Amino acid sequence: MSGHTTGLPRRLASVLAAAALAVTLPQTAHAAETPADGPNTAPTAPAPADRAAEDRLAAEAELEHAAVPPGPLTFGAEALSSVESAAADAAAGASCGISAKEATAMALAPVWPEIVTGTQATPSPMTLSRFDNQAGLYDPAGRDGLFFNPGVGLWQMDSAGLGTDNTAGEAIDSAWVSGLVTPYIVDKYCSALNGGSSAPDARATAWSDWNACSGGECDTVYWRAFNDGVTADGNVDRYGGAEPRTCEYQGSTYDCLFVDIADAQGADWWAAPDAGRSPLPHPFYVLRDDSGGSTEEVRVFLGEDSGHGTDVTATRPFGGDARDSLTWTDGRGLCDTTEGRGAC
């Protein structure tokens, strides 16, 4: 995937394929139950019905885990290099006085409160949210492991907010997402500072998109990163264990990412079955589909990975919150041309 944004099509789909994708397709079939010797994934709990209550419970659960463990801060080597580069560029072009060191610490600060809990460890770029349990994230057929985790990556890019116009693949790609989040945080900080806010208040404004920052934990991490530095960890790569692939989907070729939580690098507390309120997903592919005059995030669960006997695709239109905008389609898969698996 090097040199490409996750999911960008390399060639145009045919007119017929584009027209077909422009139509919102309902779920077409229900797959068979998981066989007894299928994947070892925690069963999917009944999808909750009360959206407002679930939103509140998810936010509360996240805050309960926001405290950052003691110990030196470490960050994936490739990811840290990307943040430092983006911070240097953002500081150089900022509308207020901010050093590259300050910008780096400010950009990194939300990561630990958002995705590291319990024992100190290097944040994983693959991290999937485990506190969201809204009904709209579940496979309508109720099959285990077919779940659309809405918060993804180091900065938990969520389709309800800052992540509404990116895919899970882009959120996991630490080089791509660093280039988006770092200048965004610096710009918000400078706007607040230029508007008369104090530096601490301006930092709080810059982090206001992250719920885990609301209790002051991000400012604590900011000063730890600024004063003590962050150590590069070469054992956690750019994708945190996810694998860049090339995929054929609906007649077009895409860069895609294969996400298997069993391969997560770095902090992986979230990959334990009992670690959160939401289910663990089966392995899935993710890509960006720009055909048909609109853009969608596409996640494909192959039947051979889920054990459900059919490929299942979940799509989310850009600009839509996954909690109320998903379309699930049975029988639509893809071909992983890198590994020669799937619907090839």
Model confidence pLDDT, tens digit, residues 140-194: 999 999 999 999 999 999 999 999 999 999 999 999 999 999 999 999 999 999 9
The SS3 assignment for 233 reads strand
- pLDDT for 275 equals 85
pLDDT of residue 45: 43
Structural domain of 142: 1-344
Q: How confident is the model at residue 323 (pLDDT cuts 50, 70, 90)?
A: very high
Whether pLDDT at 288 is above 60: yes
Taking residues 73-87, report their average pLDDT: 98
How high does pLDDT run on average in the chain?
85
pLDDT > 70 in the chain, percent: 81
Predicted confidence at residue 48, as pLDDT, reads: 57
Q: How many domains does the chain have?
A: 1
In angstroms, the Cα distances linking 78 to 116, 236, 323 are 18, 8, 32
The 10s digit of each residue's pLDDT in 207-236 is: 999 999 998 999 999 999 999 999 999 999
The pLDDT value recorded for residue 61 is: 58
Name the burial class of residue 28, with classes exposed (0-12), middle (13-18) and buried (19+) by CB atoms within 10 angstroms of its CB: exposed
Phi-psi region of 196 (alpha: psi -120 to 50; beta: other; left: phi over 0): left
Indicate if the pLDDT at residue 28 is higher than 50.
no
**The overall pTM is greater than 0.85:** no
Angle between helices 100-108 and 77-92 (to 10 degrees): 130
CA distances from 1 to 18, 233, 250, 322, 338 (A): 24, 21, 20, 25, 11
Count of beta carbons in the 10 Å neighbourhood of residue 43 = 11
